[in-house]
Structure formats: structure tokens, C-alpha cells
Amino acid sequence: EKGDIRDLLNKEIHIADFGFIRGDNGEYSVFITKEDDKNFYCAGMAVTETLRIIKDAGKRNELPDQLCKLVEVQSKNKRKYITIEF
């Protein structure tokens, strides 16, 4: 079932696995957490880029053991978006 990524904001989580899907507006990531095995979450550009860097660096298998937090930040243009903090 699709979860609301905003429900994860400011909570410590472990991303158990992730993948990439191509949508109408480009590619985005989809992930599941260790803490919630009933839902998957769709992420925006910033989270997708971070997960792509992790995948390309060959660190994908280390991610489930890494505690992280999704946080909302504001760009210089006053636009809000969600990113990952480790």
C-alpha cells in the first residue's frame, strides 16, 4: 500500500530497499522502511538523487543498517522539499 512520505518526516527510519520508476515527470524513487513493512513510499527529486548516489557508489546493501531521517527544507526560492539526513 502507498504511504504518505510526510508521515515519515523527522522520524528516525531505516530504508530497507528502494527502486526507481519512470513517471510522467521523469524518474523517481520508491522505497520501503524496516519500521513499516505494510507501505511503500514515493520520493521527490532530492531523495531520489541521494538514493541514486548510494546505488552508484555500490553502497546499496549498507543502507538498511544506516539510521536516517527525512526532513523538509526550504530552498533559496522559498520552495519546500524533502531530503535525507544521515
Specify the pTM.
0.91
How many CA atoms lie less than 13 Å away from 25 in the CB half-sphere? 5
Closest CA to 67 of 86, 51, 52: 86
At 55, give phi and psi (nearest 5°): -65, -50
What's the pLDDT at 48? 97
42 Cβ contact list (under 8 Å, min separation 6): 2, 5, 21, 28, 29, 30
Question: Helices marked H in 5-76 — which ranges?
Answer: 45-56
What's the pLDDT at 53? 97
What's the pLDDT at 37? 84
Which residues of the chain fall short of a pLDDT of 70? none
